[in-house]
Amino acid sequence: MILRRQPSRRETATRPPRIDLIVAGCRMELGIGDHLLDPPFGLYRSPANAALQLDFVLDVREALDVLPDGADAAAPPGVRRRNGRITARGAGYRVELNPTAARGRATIAPGTRFHRVLLQLVLTEWLAPRGGLLVHGCGLAVGGRSWLFIGPSGAGKSTVAELAGLPVLSDETCVVRLEPGDGVELAGTPIGISTAAGPLPLAGIFWLEQAPADELVPLPPAQALARLMTQVVAAGRQDTELAPLLETAVAALDRIPMRTLRFTRSRRFVDVLGLYAEA
């Protein structure tokens, strides 16, 4: 944890603006201009406080030497882990993180939103040893609890967010975190559409499949784990480095079993889940 000090006058004149965020319990200072932040970031901002204890500090600057170009823009990011440090490079950004020191530096193409990728890297590293997962999925708030919908691209996560008529934790990336006892919480992130930050107790995890009728189908535990792990943000981890993420995923599914939600891309799925919650 980092105790922030007051910057000198010289530092104030040269350093980028500082923005305090709290995402799923992670208190971070993001050095980035307001002009790069999407509206959902407003839900996660905390008032500037010189004595705030921070979990991570990430400085972001804009530079022309990382502009996306042609084929590189479609390439997956390259993530390397060496000597306790993490470096990542993609079309339009590069970053170096030092998880032990809880600090990082990044460069992004001017006027772009690549800081969202950087935020994913920071959150993944911070959550892994704390019983948390960053998951590609849609989280909805309902009656003081939450539902998580996951599936491959095109399965209908954004459609679920649009049709449900419920507060959206995120339609793109959520945080699943184990709580003391038998609880699991779901929190939103400013990545994607977000109208509520959470966290809220997680009441259901659903694998989305489009079908002619709306229904819930049980999933065997091994199949549920395999499907969940396809949607966990691993941030460049090799198979031998996935142990903490697998451990958290197994524990989460033991507490909240996953079911397949076959749905017709209509709002009828809300009624199906309402009956499931009452059962």
Answer yes or no: is pLDDT of 95 > 50.
yes
Number of domains in the chain: 2
Q: Which two tokens stand for residue 193?
A: 């559409």
Q: What is the pLDDT of residue 278?
A: 54
pTM of the model: 0.85
Contact (CB, 8 A) for 19 and 60: no
At 170, give phi and psi (nearest 5°): -170, 145
Residue 279 — pLDDT band, cuts 50, 70, 90?
Answer: very low
H-helix segments, the chain: 9-14, 115-127, 157-164, 221-230, 243-255, 268-278
Boundaries of domain holding 266: 133-278
Q: What is the pLDDT of residue 203?
A: 93
Contact (CB, 8 A) for 28 and 41: no
Among 126-130, 135-139, 154-158, top mean pLDDT goes to 135-139
Are 41 and 93 contained in the same domain? yes
Note the pLDDT tens digit of each residue in 150-172. 998 888 888 888 888 899 999 99
Are 69 and 198 contained in the same domain? no
Note the pLDDT tens digit of each residue in 100-117. 888 988 888 877 766 677
Out of 129, 155, 182, a domain closes at 129
Helix and strand element counts for the chain (H, E): 6, 18
Query: From CA 206, how far away is CA 258, in angstroms rounded?
Result: 6
Are 173 and 265 contained in the same domain? yes
Count other Cβ atoms within 10 Å, centred on residue 212.
7
